[in-house]
Structure 1
């Protein structure tokens, strides 16, 4: 189907369908097959209105660029970009460059929910299998050529596009086989590298690029603990290692493990480990 879309040629279409009595929540709104060559082309994800929607854009030739929350990506042939609006990102053509791509624009809360799941797992740039690219191309061509589409048909097209991305991101993996979502891996790495700092939930949510409430739900589902519980567990693990591997005092260990003071550290440690820090150290040395 990718070949059929390329043969169809460059085209853009915005769909207009009557409002449904029973609203649908995954809708293909528009699609296109375009090329940009040596021109100004730049989309800012924070300057496209306040109504939420998403863009799927697959590169066929040339190269584009994506700045996604401060991370730089090269969009080369075979790469599929997924971004939601509004969001802190920009995708653009470098000066003197050439970029050819096809794209789909979708809206609806179910489309956005699926997009968030995919972004959390795979990030904004996916490498799909040829069959999945063909499915996206087929959906794009259907949007470009549909005659008087109904709301139901437009929803089918939207789900078709999201299903192709879903299969590319998750495949046939079961939840037990799935590694941590990329957003959660970033947060865990940040926690481990900054245990001695203040780790407020709002700051962690920003690193995951999620709202506070959504982040807490996603983190708890992925790690089996709330963010605050996870941070405390990591701090206690570091404190244990320092108690057993060094001769540091309780105050120094408290600071390195991120506790506000030695008294608070000793209180929490006793509650969680059943002994005061120095008692714990002495007991383990005796056992050894």
Structure 2
């Protein structure tokens, strides 16, 4: 990693970057060096006109130099169960940029101490907004946090879970709103279907334990047949006796059209036309059912 003054790189670069150290790869700077150089770059960032090459160079270098802060903060959220690590770093970088834009050297506080809450705050906001399994209004998302804190506080004093009324009194809200918040909180995360159905059982079929996926109900194809027969029954009752007999021979006794024709003393072609008309009548009746 090479750091040298802009003047040594030529008068043109010195004019453009206002004498700031020219850093070939700011991402390779050690954290201790980044803290020292950040003060210089932050000071120049405040005096440079926004939009100028000097301002852009100072700001971009500050971001690259302090990405180690973002990676450190992102590492604390590595096992949160959602969000790709690259996405978390990108979100944390937004917090870093906000800190750079808002930092004031006159506060006499280390930039790292100032920036970390911004970085962590952006990452937490990312998880808050992306770990809801269903769409929930923002006010209910925020209420979930208040409810969690209130439950913990009240449970410690009551030695039991607080009631809806107690939560409402503690938070100064209506019981209806508390109930709505509790229901909405159920959409915060989606449980995996691979977790054991019995908390004491081992995970997965291979170990003999049943997961939720093993015991989860699924659609039964026969149910549609039952529903269709239930709808069809009154329609069959409305058919004429000969029409019902033809339907019974064709679908109940599974007779061919030729056999039905012999039984009724009519041609196979006539049977075909009758079946077509009867089935059309039944189909229309089923489509018009509520």
User: TM-score range, shorter-chain basis?
Assistant: under 0.3
Max Rg structure: 2
Higher helix share: 2
Instruction: Determine which structure has greater relative contact order: mean sequence separation of CA pairs < 8 Å that are 6+ residues apart, divided by chain length.
Output: 1
How high is the TM-score relative to the length of structure 2?
0.27
Higher strand share: 1
